[in-house]
Each structure stands twice: as C-alpha cells, then as structure tokens.
Amino acid sequence: MPTVLFVCIHNAGRSQMAAAWLRHLAGDRIEVRSAGSAPASAVNPAAVEAMREVGIDMSAEVPKILTAEAVGESDVCVTMGCGDTCEVFPGKHYLDWKLDDPAGQGVEAVRPVRDAIKGLVEDLVADMDAARPAP
C-alpha cells in the first residue's frame, strides 16, 4: 500500500486537513501520515470546525513531530510551507503545495484553504490510482 506524508510547520491546520481529506477520499487504499517541523500543542480549532462542516471529524488528531523515519517510510511527501526542514530522500516523490497558512484565523478564512486542499488531494488520489498496476 502506498504511503503519503503531509508536512507543514505546525501540523495543526493544512497538513491535518490534507490527511483527513485523503483518509476520507481514498479509504484504505493509501496509508496516510502527517507531521510538522515545529508541531503546535493542538490542532487548529478553526480547521477542525471547517472539516466538521463537510462531515469529517478530525477533533481527535494531535500534531506530530516530523522525523527522518516518517519521510523515509513514505512514498510521497507533500510539503506545505515547511521550507527546507523536510529531509529529501532519493527515490521519493515530493510535491510542494502553496497554500495560505490558516494559523490564528477564523473558520471563514480556513474554508477556502480546506476547499483548495480537497482539490489537490482529489488530484493526488487520481494520480496514485492511475499509477497503480492493474490486478
């Protein structure tokens, strides 16, 4: 099973929403991880609320620290504003998604980020499904 790692600085908003969308859209076809280079103490409540609005509950998620092992064990690493803090491993597929950071903003500001992430995740799932060998 392929593994995707979503990385942002605090692992409290963008990467958590991306992971939640991927779990929701891909089910058990793709293993999902998320982490941050400087994790926050909790997931952004506005991000939790924005995802709840679309029927996805991520209230139990906890920000996690980015480790070399997590990157090394992932097939695809999606960065979202973490700069050079994400180690680069040969043979891994890297994507860098340019998204506004919703930290410290209300749900109104998070909704467009949530919706942009959904579209990017849908494209990622389609690409990964197309690359999967036929049974």
- Residues serving a catalytic function are 8, 82, 86
**CA–CA separation, 11 and 114 (whole Å):** 14
Instruction: Provide the edge-to-edge strand list for the sheet that holds 76-79.
Output: 31-36, 3-8, 76-79, 93-96
Residues 6+ apart with CB under 8 A from 47: 12, 13, 14, 16, 17, 58, 102, 110, 114
Whole-Å CA distances, 11 to 33, 58, 67, 81, 131: 11, 12, 13, 11, 28
Residues 6+ apart with CB under 8 A from 49: 107, 110
